[in-house]
């Protein structure tokens, strides 16, 4: 079992958000709370055996399919040609390039992708039309954003990115923008409040999202680490992770999850300070692997790279045209990958932005065809 499944099982068996590293590991904030809660539903209905695995996989498949089915709506809200959303959706539906991520249900990436597309659809429509309202716009966006943050903290930088864009788009309506932003922020804060309160009661400290940053930075930055997370996990001297190492799991139980991660962050910071050249190389490689992931099969890697090149080329063209859609989508591409500059990268980490890349690749196809016709 991986951490999300272990916590889901703990929720069902003991009613506690605990045991991310197996055994009696105790309370955890290694994960954001929403996905283990969602995961506990099919596990409760079908168990942890084959039937449960099929149910979890079916949920992931349905989520991935629905995400790409939303692309025509997103394309319409961004005022793209109607064919763009249809072609973009078809790319994702018929070419599941990130196949394991889209179908396994082991991690939250498919649901994060759905939330990110939904948020981009809602935000994009408002930015392109240059209209904002507290009700229903801010209320709806706040609710979806709140759920997104409870699912994956990487949504938070995207929200800040959109806020910076909004300052430019709505500079002549600062009062409306302030009310809009305050409403969204308040709803997100309310959504986080039960989680923050629980963490304070359990750990005795303010933990707004997750505890695991120190651990993830340390296993990603050390003498033996490589940028590719899947390769890194096969290097025991590099990947001393409590989810896979009983000695590290015992240390977590001994000192507590919060202190364990503080210790790991101190080790990581010291290493980065004294190994700046290697850290820089790891950072550059992680950046490249985010946009050009190393997949299991060569043809998958090639097609992923092709979609990336086409999507980013389309973004550049939209920027040159002054299209407001470029600000909406560009904010996601600038903000979402930030955390993956300092932690190891895997294909599943980049999956949430792949539907947006597919949409942009489709935009490039449609507009290139129109240019030839003209």
In which band, very low, low, confident or very high, does the pLDDT at 4 lie, cut at 50, 70 and 90?
very high
> CB-based burial of residue 277 (10 Å sphere; 0-12 exposed, 13-18 middle, 19+ buried)?
exposed
pLDDT reading at 131 higher than 90:
no
Per-residue pLDDT tens over the stretch 23-44: 788 999 999 999 999 999 999 9
Once rounded to an integer, what is the mean pLDDT over residues 9-35?
Answer: 92
High-pLDDT (> 90) share of the chain, %: 84
pLDDT at position 374, please? 41
User: Which secondary structure element, helix H or strand E, spans residue 187, and what is its range?
Assistant: helix 174-203
Per-residue pLDDT tens over the stretch 76-105: 999 999 999 999 999 898 888 899 999 999
Per-residue pLDDT tens over the stretch 203-233: 999 999 999 999 999 999 999 999 999 999 8
Per-residue pLDDT tens over the stretch 133-149: 888 889 999 999 999 99
Query: Who's near 368: CB < 8 A, 6+ residues apart?
Result: none
Which region among 23-27, 65-69, 239-243, 322-326 has the lowest average model confidence (pLDDT)? 23-27
Would the pTM of this model clear 0.85, i.e. be above it?
A: yes
pLDDT at position 371, please? 53
3-class SS of residue 345: strand
Per-residue pLDDT tens over the stretch 295-322: 989 999 999 999 999 999 999 999 999 9
3-class SS of residue 267: helix
> Between vectors from CA 370 to CA 368 and to CA 374, what angle results, nearest 5°?
120
Query: How far apart, in Å, are the Cα atoms of 194 and each of 34, 148, 160, 359?
Result: 12, 15, 22, 36
Once rounded to an integer, what is the mean pLDDT over residues 318-343?
Answer: 95
**Closest C-alpha among 197, 188, 195, 226 to residue 209:** 195
According to DSSP, the residues that pair with 27 across neighbouring strands are: 18
Once rounded to an integer, what is the mean pLDDT over residues 57-63?
Answer: 95
CB 69 within 8 A of CB 115: no
CB 115 within 8 A of CB 335: no
pLDDT at position 373, please? 42
User: Which secondary structure element, helix H or strand E, spans residue 341, and what is its range?
Assistant: none
In which band, very low, low, confident or very high, does the pLDDT at 132 lie, cut at 50, 70 and 90?
confident
Once rounded to an integer, what is the mean pLDDT over residues 324-333?
Answer: 95
CB 338 within 8 A of CB 288: no
> CB-based burial of residue 327 (10 Å sphere; 0-12 exposed, 13-18 middle, 19+ buried)?
buried
Give residue 12's domain range.
3-373
Domain count, the chain: 1
pLDDT reading at 294 higher than 80:
yes
pLDDT at position 24, please? 80
Question: If you average pLDDT over every residue of the chain, what do you get?
Answer: 93
Once rounded to an integer, what is the mean pLDDT over residues 170-194?
Answer: 93
What is the number of other CB atoms lying within 10 angstroms of the CB of residue 63? Answer: 20
């Amino acid at each position: 079992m991986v951490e999300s499944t272990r916590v889901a099982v703990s929720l069902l068996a003991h009613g506690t958000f605990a045991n991310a590293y197996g055994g009696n590991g105790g309370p955890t904030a290694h994960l954001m709370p929403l996905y283990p809660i969602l995961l506990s539903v099919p596990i409760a209905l079908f168990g942890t055996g084959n039937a449960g695995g099929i149910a979890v996989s079916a949920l992931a498949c349905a989520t991935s399919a629905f995400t790409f089915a939303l692309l025509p709506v997103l394309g319409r809200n961004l005022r793209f040609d109607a064919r763009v959303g249809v072609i973009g959706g078809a790319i994702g539906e018929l070419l599941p390039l990130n196949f394991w991520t889209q179908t396994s249900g082991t991690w939250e990436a498919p649901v994060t992708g759905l939330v990110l597309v939904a948020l981009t659809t809602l935000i994009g429509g408002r930015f392109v039309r240059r209209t904002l309202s507290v009700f229903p716009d801010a209320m709806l966006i706040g609710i979806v954003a709140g759920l997104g943050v409870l699912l994956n903290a990487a949504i938070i930088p995207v929200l800040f990115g959109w806020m910076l864009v909004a300052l430019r788009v709505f500079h002549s309506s600062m009062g409306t923008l302030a009310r809009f932003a305050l409403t969204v922020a308040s709803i997100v804060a309310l959504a986080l409040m039960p989680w923050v309160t629980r963490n304070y009661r359990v750990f005795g400290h303010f933990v707004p999202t997750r505890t695991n940053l120190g651990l993830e930075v340390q296993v990603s930055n050390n003498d033996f680490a490589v940028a590719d997370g899947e390769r890194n996990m096969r290097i025991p001297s590099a990947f001393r992770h409590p989810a896979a190492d009983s000695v590290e799991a015992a240390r977590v139980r001994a000192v507590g999850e919060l202190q364990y991660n503080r210790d790991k962050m101190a080790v990581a910071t010291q290493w980065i300070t004294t190994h700046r050249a290697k850290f820089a190389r790891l950072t550059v490689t992680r950046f490249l692997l985010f946009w050009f992931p190393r997949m299991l099969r060569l043809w998958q890697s090639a097609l992923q790279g092709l979609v990336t090149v086409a999507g980013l080329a389309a973004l550049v063209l939209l920027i040159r045209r002054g299209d407001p859609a470029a600000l909406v989508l560009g904010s996601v591409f600038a903000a979402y990958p930030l955390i993956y500059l300092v932690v190891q990268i895997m294909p599943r980490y980049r999956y949430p932005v792949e539907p947006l890349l597919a949409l942009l690749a489709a935009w490039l196809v449609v507009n290139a065809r129109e240019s030839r016709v003209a």
